[in-house]
Amino acid sequence: MRSERAYVVELYEKLDAERARVEDRYQEALRGTGTSLVERDVAVRAQARELKRLGVADHGLCFGRLDAVDGERRYIGRIGLFDEADDYRPLLVDWRAPVARPFYTATGASPEGMRRRRQLHSRGREITGYTEEVLGRPDGEAAGDAALLAAVNAPRGEGMRDIVATIQAEQDRIIRLDHPGVLVIEGGPGTGKTVVALHRVAYLLYTHRERIERSGVLVVGPNPAFLNHIGRVLPSLGESDVVFATTGDLVPGLHVTAEDRPEAAEVKGSLQVLDVLRAAIADRQRLPEEPRHIELEDVVVRLDAPTAEWARQEARDSGLPHNEARAVFLEIVTYVLTERAIGRIGKGWLTREDTEAWENVRADLLAELAEHPDFAAAVEELWPVLTPQQLLADLYSSPDRLLAVGAEALYRSDGHAWTVSDVPLLDELVDLLGEVKKPRSNAEEAAETEYAAGVLEILQTERHDLMDDEDHLLAQDLLHAADLAERFVEHDTRDVAERAAADRDWTYRHVVVDEAQELSEMDWRVLMRRCPSRSFTVVGDLAQRRSPAGAATWGAVLDRYVPGRWADRELTVNYRTPSEIMELAAAVLAGFAPDVTPPESVRSCGVRPWRRQVSRAEFARCISEFTESESQREGTSIVIGPPDVPGAVVPSDTKGLEFDAVLLVEPARVLTGNAQGAADLYVALTRATQRLGILHEEPLPDLLAGSEVTIETAVVRQ
SS3 561: coil
Report whether pLDDT(157) > 80.
Answer: no
Report whether pLDDT(622) > 90.
Answer: yes
The contacts of residue 554 (CB under 8 Å, 6+ apart) are: 184, 186, 538, 540, 542, 566, 568
Convert 501-534 to b/e letters by CB count within 10 Å (16 or more is b).
beeeebebbbbbbbbbbbbbbbbbbbbbbbbeeb
Alpha carbon distance 377, 384 (integer Å): 9
Instruction: Give the CA count within 13 Å in the CB-facing half-sphere of 429.
Output: 24
The contacts of residue 43 (CB under 8 Å, 6+ apart) are: 25, 29, 32, 35
Which has the minimum average pLDDT: 35-44, 158-167, 279-288, 404-413? 35-44
What is the separation of C-alpha 456 from the centre of its chain, rounded to a whole number of angstroms? 39
Report whether pLDDT(194) > 80.
Answer: yes
The contacts of residue 96 (CB under 8 Å, 6+ apart) are: 202, 203, 206, 207
Report whether pLDDT(299) > 80.
Answer: yes
The tens digit of pLDDT for each residue in 539-553 reads 999 988 988 889 999
Q: Are 220 and 513 in contact (CB under 8 A)?
A: yes
Average pLDDT, the chain: 87
Report whether pLDDT(96) > 90.
Answer: yes
User: Is 655 annotated to bind ligand?
Assistant: no
Q: Given this model, what pLDDT does residue 123 score?
A: 87
Q: What percent of the chain has pLDDT over 70?
A: 88
Tell me, what DSSP letter sits at residue 315? H
Beta bridge partners of 695: 612, 665
Q: Same CATH fold, 579-711 and 170-251+508-571?
A: yes
CA distances from 92 to 77, 162, 165 (A): 6, 19, 14
Give the closest residue to 661 by CA, choosing from 689, 696, 619, 624.
689
Report whether pLDDT(503) > 50.
Answer: yes
The tens digit of pLDDT for each residue in 114-129 reads 999 999 988 888 899 8
Which has the minimum average pLDDT: 5-19, 37-51, 239-253, 435-449? 435-449
Section 35-58 average pLDDT = 80
**Which DSSP string corresponds to 318-353?**
TT--HHHHHHHHHHHHHHHHHHHHHHHHTTTT--TT
Alpha carbon distance 527, 219 (integer Å): 11
User: Is 438 annotated to bind ligand?
Assistant: no
Section 645-653 average pLDDT = 93
Q: What percent of the chain has pLDDT over 90?
A: 64
Instruction: Give the CA count within 13 Å in the CB-facing half-sphere of 123.
Output: 2
Q: Where are the domains of the chain?
A: 1-136, 170-251+508-571, 266-433, 442-488, 579-711
Section 100-107 average pLDDT = 92
The tens digit of pLDDT for each residue in 451-489 reads 556 555 554 554 444 444 444 434 334 444 444 444 444
How buried is 497 (Cβ within 10 angstroms: 0-12 exposed, 13-18 middle, 19+ buried)? middle
User: Is 188 annotated to bind ligand?
Assistant: yes
User: Is 189 annotated to bind ligand?
Assistant: yes
Report whether pLDDT(201) > 60.
Answer: yes
Report whether pLDDT(337) > 60.
Answer: yes
SS3 632: coil
Report whether pLDDT(332) > 70.
Answer: yes
Beta bridge partners of 640: 649, 664
Give the closest residue to 595 by CA, choosing from 551, 656, 553.
553
Q: Given this model, what pLDDT does residue 156 score?
A: 75
Query: 0.75 cut: is pTM over it?
Result: yes
- Fold classification of 170-251+508-571 is Rossmann fold (3.40.50)
* Residue scoring higher pLDDT (245 or 47): 245
CA distances from 399 to 272, 393, 411 (A): 19, 12, 7
Q: Are strands 712-713 and 637-640 parallel, antiparallel or unpaired?
A: unpaired
Report whether pLDDT(579) > 90.
Answer: yes
Query: Would you state the CATH architecture of domain 579-711?
Result: 3-Layer(aba) Sandwich (3.40)
Q: Given this model, what pLDDT does residue 32 score?
A: 77
SS3 567: strand
SS3 548: coil
Alpha carbon distance 246, 527 (integer Å): 11
Sign of the C-alpha dihedral computed for residues 86, 92, 95 and 100 taken in this order = positive
